Amino acid sequence: MNIKKLILGSSLLVSTLFAGNYNVDTAHSNVGFKIKHMMISNVSGTFSKFDGTFEYDEKLNTLKSLSGEIQVDSIYTANAKRDKHLVADDMFDVAKYPTITFKITKIDGDDVYGDFTLKGITKNIKLELDNGGSIKDNRGNEKAAFALSGKISRSDFGLTYNSVLEAGGVAIGDTVKLDIEVEGKRTK
């Protein structure tokens, strides 16, 4: 057997031995976003219903994979009228597209790439990883945490509703800033 293959196989085995599978702890995680309103301020929002799993290597303190799903009808922007419009068919169209999904396809240092699906459209997006690390809590549970942030163009995903302002510009910006905080508990 080739020595390179032996070393590579051994390092993959060691990495797998220390990598754990985690469920996202929704009580200690947050899926948030921010978008320009009237070109002068921001509207912030969150989704309260989401779940996911990830693999985290405790020995190397690195995220290895992530797959998550958001229930779009759980959107909250602190304005009931706006939230009702956001789930309507001219915006997110929740009746036809009830979920947003994200699955990592590549991790390169602090850059995370993944397939992001919104309104039936999938695009590979880039997010920045802020690795929180892993610990054992006071009950003996293994926990790991990280944050992902980045930007998407809402029009790339069929979210094109807008209105032109009298003074010029548009009511709703196209760039959506994503801010995702994840904490998970190891499933063993």
pLDDT at res. 17: 52
Higher pLDDT, 148 or 188: 148
Tokens of 22: 């985690």
Place of tokens 């809590």: 137
> Would you identify the CATH topology of the domain 19-186?
Lipocalin (2.40.128)
Model pTM? 0.86
pLDDT at res. 10: 43
Cα–Cα dist 76/95, whole Å: 17
Cα–Cα dist 151/107, whole Å: 17
pLDDT in tens, 83-119: 999 999 999 999 999 999 999 999 999 999 999 999 9
Judge contact between 185 and 142, C-beta under 8 A: yes
Angstrom distances, CA of residue 32 to CA of 3, 46, 101, 147, 150: 48, 4, 14, 11, 11
pLDDT at res. 16: 45
pLDDT at res. 13: 42
Cα–Cα dist 82/71, whole Å: 17
Angstrom distances, CA of residue 176 to CA of 92, 136, 156: 14, 35, 11
Most confident segment among 95-104, 135-144, 165-174: 95-104
